[in-house]
Amino acid sequence: SSWPKVFRPAAGPRPPVPGRAAWMVELVVDREQFQAMVKEKLVIAYFTAEWCPPCHMMSPYFKELAESGTYDKAAFIKVDVDQAELIAEQADIEAMPTFQVWTDGAKIDGFTGADMVRLKEFLDKHCR
């Protein structure tokens, strides 16, 4: 990777926690799957793109927070806007990275930008 060391995850992947597969970030590309997920549970959606440098900075941090177990009330999903244009359209995505919280089939909050402090505050507000 050509990214400066500061943007890379500090350690290798953590060993999986038995019985806690829910603590993973799921890549969602299918609109029906997205709609079903946001109807059934509290979902934190991360909208990203391969060509987005700020997204590359936020991805490891989003994954780390998702897998920490601190926010186990929510399902964490990643949506590549180029692979899932219909989902991005439904979510009114205009820039990346964008983070949104969905529940009962509706978006209830969100923000755009590569701000690690704001992401943690956002998760603390909606998932604890």
The answer to whether 8 and 60 are in contact (CB under 8 A) is: yes
The answer to whether 46 and 25 are in contact (CB under 8 A) is: yes
- Catalytic residue, chosen from 37, 43, 52, 79, is 52
Separation of alpha carbons 93 and 67, rounded Å: 25
Residue 106: which residues within 8 A CB-CB, separation 6 or more? 38
- Catalytic residue, chosen from 25, 44, 45, 55, is 55
Among 99, 52, 91, 29, smallest CA distance to 71 is for 99
Respond yes or no: is residue 127 known to be catalytic: no
Respond yes or no: is residue 52 known to be catalytic: yes
Catalytically active residues are: 52, 55
